[in-house]
Amino acid sequence: MRIDKFLANMGVGTRTEVKNLLKKGLVTLNDEKIKSAKLQMNPEQDRVCVGGQQIDYEPYVYLMLNKPAGVISATEDDVHQTVIDLIEEYDHLDLFPVGRLDKDTEGLLLITNDGDFNHRIMSPHKYVTKRYYAELAHPVREDAVETFEQGIRLTEGLLQPAQLEILVPNNHARVTICEGKYHQVKRMFHAVDNEVVYLKRDAIGPLELDHRLKTGEYRKLTNSEINLFKNH
Ligand code: URA
């Protein structure tokens, strides 16, 4: 890998900032000062320091994205912009989204290159909850709370119990589910004679969307956020 790419991917700075650090002679590779941004290095073996501080190679990346509407949850697509297209760094890593949100759904989407992490969150046996904020075409009927709790029957079978909280105004609601069937929340509301007009995921298990992230923005998960899913 090129040294400038390694340093940018490890979050030291943009490619331009990294080039300036190299020019200033602040970067060493195995204790030798280097200036060329094109120099090839091995991230697993070489020791890189910037201003004397060692830059550790992190093979796995864990990002929280506030997904905007209009972008699809896939790694590549010939026509549409994908959530991976929104990520500017880490292009040497095979990043993918953890599960899917519909094209028009916004909110919390995790992005990683760690297959085990993906499995711990997505496996139906792990029962990791997903919480959504929904705006509906009509007021939500009070009896929908019990219908959701008892499990709605879709063509695939009976859903797990889901929690429905009717908000104010009463065409706004919060729904917590522990599966990820195709268009699940939209179809659940359809089953109680309503229609979702806006949907946003705001939590996955104990992890809440960071409300400082505007739609389209992302940040790395902290170690304690990553560890929330380690014992699942
Ligand atoms: N349920 C839906 O209907 N859409 C989503 O994007 C996520 C859950």
Tens-digit pLDDT profile for residues 86-137: 998 777 678 999 999 999 999 999 999 999 999 999 988 888 999 999 999 9
Q: What's the rounded mean pLDDT across residues 158-167?
A: 97
The H or E element spanning position 208 is: strand 207-208
Q: What per-residue confidence (pLDDT) applies to 232?
A: 58
**63-123+218-227 and 130-204, same CATH topology:** yes
Distances (CA, A) of 202 to 86, 128, 142, 210: 19, 14, 23, 9
Q: What per-residue confidence (pLDDT) applies to 200?
A: 98
pLDDT band for position 231 (cuts 50, 70, 90): low
Span from the CA of 223 to the centroid of ligand 1 (angstroms): 28
- Of all protein residues, the one whose alpha carbon is nearest to atom 7 of ligand 1 is 101
Q: Which residues, listed in sequence order, are joined to residue 65 by a DSSP beta bridge?
A: 109, 218
Q: What per-residue confidence (pLDDT) applies to 92?
A: 64
For residue 186, the ligand 1 atom closest to its alpha carbon is 3
Distances (CA, A) of 63 to 12, 97, 109: 16, 9, 8
Q: What per-residue confidence (pLDDT) applies to 11?
A: 80
The CATH code of the domain at 63-123+218-227 is: 3.30.70.580
Residue among 158, 179, 101, 181 at smallest CA distance from 134: 101
CATH of 130-204, one of 3.40.50.300, 3.30.70.1560, 3.40.640.10, 3.30.1450.10: 3.30.70.1560
Q: What per-residue confidence (pLDDT) applies to 126?
A: 86
The H or E element spanning position 134 is: strand 130-136
In b/e form, how buried is each residue of 163-189, taking b as 16+ CB within 10 angstroms? ebebeeeebbbebebbeebeebbbbbb
16-58 per-position pLDDT tens digit: 999 999 999 999 999 999 999 999 999 999 999 999 999 999 8
Q: What per-residue confidence (pLDDT) applies to 185?
A: 98
Span from the CA of 31 to the centroid of ligand 1 (angstroms): 51
Domain boundaries, the chain: 3-54, 63-123+218-227, 130-204
For residue 187, the ligand 1 atom closest to its alpha carbon is 3
Structure tokens that stand for 128 in this block: 């990791």
For a substitution probing ligand 1, which of 102, 122, 154, 209 has the most ligand atoms within 8 Å of its CB?
102
For a substitution probing ligand 1, which of 196, 199, 201 has the most ligand atoms within 8 Å of its CB?
199
CATH of 3-54, one of 3.40.47.10, 3.40.50.720, 3.40.50.2300, 3.10.290.10: 3.10.290.10
pLDDT at 202 over 80: yes
